[in-house]
Amino acid sequence: MTHPLLDLTPLTAHHFATIERKVAALLGLDAPGSGGHELVVTQGEALLPLEGCIRGVAGPGTVALNIVTGPYGQTFGNWLRDCGATVHDLAVPFDTAVSAAQVREALAAHPETDFVSLVHAEAATGNTNPVAGIGEVVREHGALLMLDAVASVGAEPLLPAEWGVDLCVIGAQKALGGPAGVSVAALSPRAWERLEANPAGPRGSYLSLLDWKHRWIDAGRKALPHAPAQLEMLALEACLERFAAEGPDLVRGRHARAAAAVRAGLAALGTPLTPYVTEARDAAPVATTVRVPVTGTGPDAATLVAKALAAHPSLPLAAGGGALAAEMVRVNHYGPLAAENVVRDSLRALAAAWSEATGERADTRAADRAVAETWAAGQA
């Protein structure tokens, strides 16, 4: 018996290269003069190329500025230290974004810095960082800039070449609405040089981006070093085609409107639930985080989410990770979930859970109106 997910013909080198070109186009890396980034499509969730980038670049001689605006920055710091790098963390509270001025100051304080790691948007904490300005500062300094753009790609503008990003990692599973088992690292010529020059970097290893460069890119993309994971690659291609068919501006517009609508709806509810990220300009379009006041008597965020999901299991609600589980709710409005009804229903469910737990009223009709008005305003 044949099966739609099985019995697929092997992906050819030509087909794989076609998918790579579609990813390059998504990132604006296909245009002449765009800086010569070469990308590697890796079969694995985005942590694979993120770790591959850091271990490829870093060694005992590396001095890294690691910008921490959420949990992923913390992970990068751990990998960098594990590689023997000297690491200076620039941490900002999760309810805000880092500024280019803060990065400039940190680089001035540590002039020997030769590598900067940054997360663009943090789905886990709901903030987004001004990469264009930061890229300018890092380029002036002469360090390499690595960007985790897994949660921003598709949801907001992402221009790695123009912004001076040397190592850019994306995944398909957030705003692109694609598979979680495939991801991409795009490296500038400067970044590839650093990998080549780093004796401590992985070689002959699953974590080695250089292996792919030598055996696939430098060899003319004629023969695949390993069998690509067909399901993931076909799903990646499908989500890129769907993204292009809807149109990047429309997809980004849906995400921006979803974020704005959650914020407007929260304000209209009249409960103590507020946007976790204080300023709208620092809020990521991919997901909106909600602050639940920690009072000792009211429900904590995890309790609220559990109640909301018990009534509406399919809503994209989650409590914050680790210590944030007490005070943060995430509304993950990405991919197909960046939609008006999802935002409205998520707010209704949170409001109902709040009222049930506290006996306090929530103005869901006003929230519905605020969501509808915000959505319509964004449509213009």
Ligand X SMILES: *Cc1c(COP(=O)(O)O)cnc(C)c1O
Number of residues that bind ligand X (CB under 6 A): 13
Report if residue 45 touches ligand X, rule: CB under 6 A: yes
CA-to-CA distance for 149 and 175, rounded, in angstroms? 11
**In 299-363, alpha helices (H):** 301-311, 340-358
Report if residue 150 touches ligand X, rule: CB under 6 A: yes
CA-to-CA distance for 29 and 38, rounded, in angstroms? 8
180, 238, 267, 352: residue in contact with ligand X (rule CB under 6 A): 180
Q: Which runs of E-coded beta strand occur in 259-322?
A: 274-275, 288-291, 317-319
Q: Exposed, middle or buried: residue 145 (CB in 10 Å: 0-12, 13-18, 19+)?
A: buried
- Written as one string, the DSSP assignment of 119-149 is ESB-TTT-BB--HHHHHHHHHHHT-EEEEE-
Q: Count how many Cα atoms sit within 13 Å of the Cα of residue 3 in the half-sphere of its side chain.
A: 4
20, 38, 51, 148: residue in contact with ligand X (rule CB under 6 A): 148
Report if residue 156 touches ligand X, rule: CB under 6 A: no
- Segment contacting ligand X by CB under 6 A, of 19-27, 143-151, 184-192, 268-276: 143-151
CB of 138 to ligand X, least distance (A): 18
Q: Strand, coil or helix: what is 317?
A: strand
CB of 67 to ligand X, least distance (A): 12
- Segment contacting ligand X by CB under 6 A, of 117-125, 209-217, 253-261, 321-329: 117-125
Interface positions, 157-176, toward ligand X (CB under 6 A): 171, 174
Report if residue 363 touches ligand X, rule: CB under 6 A: no
CA-to-CA distance for 145 and 215, rounded, in angstroms? 25
46, 167, 277, 331: residue in contact with ligand X (rule CB under 6 A): 46
Report if residue 123 touches ligand X, rule: CB under 6 A: yes
Report if residue 77 touches ligand X, rule: CB under 6 A: no
95, 122, 237, 327: residue in contact with ligand X (rule CB under 6 A): 122
CA-to-CA distance for 114 and 279, rounded, in angstroms? 31
Residues that bind ligand X (CB under 6 A): 45-46, 72, 119, 122-124, 148, 150-151, 171, 174, 180
